[in-house]
Amino acid sequence: MTPLMDDSRAFPAAPPPDLDDPQKITANDWDAFQAVERMTNHWDRPGWAPGHRAYYWMLTFPDEPELIDQARSCQQVLADLDMDEVPHDGLHITMNKIGSCADVESGAVDALAQLAAGTLGGSFEIRAEPMAGSKGAIRFSVTPWTRLVELHTALHRAGQDAGVPGGRSNTLFRPHLGILYNNRVRRAAPVIDAVASLRNRPSVALQVKRVDMVELRREGRTYRWRVLHSLALPDRSPSR
């Protein structure tokens, strides 16, 4: 597993001191969010011209009613912030970018999926923890990180072996699960105060049983995607 490193391009810039301790992970996320002075417009991102599409690896959660209910409830509490809601069928954890559709041929992504299959380890459980945020979004922290980092590393290596452009260095990986995208520059303090009221909510268990390769696009101020390949992460629990 490639170690995570401090880097100002990531958020939080410093990874948590323990990748498996929920309290240290959530505290690290919250401390970083509390230090934000001004939030940025999430949609003001280079490379996303109209019609742009890109291939990504994602964890998606279309069949997790407890997560969906928690996200909707938090979105309702924060509705006065007038941010852009992640739809209930759009909840996801971005694992790694594969490349722009303009730069990667469809045959290359099919070959990547075949290369990655069987190299990603088994299924595991994570938890969506109480709310935190970043400079451009409101999001659940997720814990623990070790299996997520291992999966990210395996996907990154498969991309290198397949010769696709890839995304950011896997040392910058900071897993999270967004529910609201900030759509303008604003002072962060009122947002932080609003999110603080949600931090006593219970965490939600999520089963990670597959990783999806998707073709990602924007529709207005939301993300949508088409699943190209869904790679199963087999159950490797001991049989009775």
Tokens of 74: 């938090």
Largest CA distance in the chain: 55
Contacts of 154 (CB under 8 A, 6+ apart): 116, 119, 120, 121
For residue 77, which amino acid is it? V
Render each residue's pLDDT in the chain as its tens digit; 240 residues. Answer: 668 999 999 999 999 999 999 999 999 999 999 999 999 999 998 878 888 999 999 999 988 999 999 999 999 999 999 999 999 999 999 999 999 999 999 899 999 999 999 899 999 999 999 999 999 999 999 999 999 999 999 999 999 999 999 876 778 999 999 999 999 999 999 999 999 999 999 999 999 999 999 999 999 999 999 999 999 998 866 554
Q: What is the DSSP string of 107-176?
A: HHHHHHHHHHTT-S---EEEEEEEEEE-SSEEEEEEE--HHHHHHHHHHHHHHHHHT----S-GGG---E
For residue 23, which amino acid is it? Q
Neighbours of 227 (CB within 10 A): 13
Helix (H, G, I), strand (E, B) or coil at 174: coil
Q: How far is CA 78 from CA 34, 191, 231, in A?
A: 17, 9, 35
Q: Which domains does the chain have, with CATH numbers?
A: 38-44+52-232 (3.90.1140.10)
From CA 210, how far away is CA 213, in angstroms rounded? 10
Q: pLDDT tens-digit profile of 114-137?
A: 999 989 999 999 999 999 999 999
Q: pLDDT tens-digit profile of 94-119?
A: 999 999 999 999 899 999 999 999 89
For residue 79, which amino acid is it? A
Tokens of 234: 């087999």
Provide the b/e sequence for 122-151 (b: ≥16 CB within 10 Å). Answer: ebbebbbbbbbbbbbbbbbbbbbbebbbbb
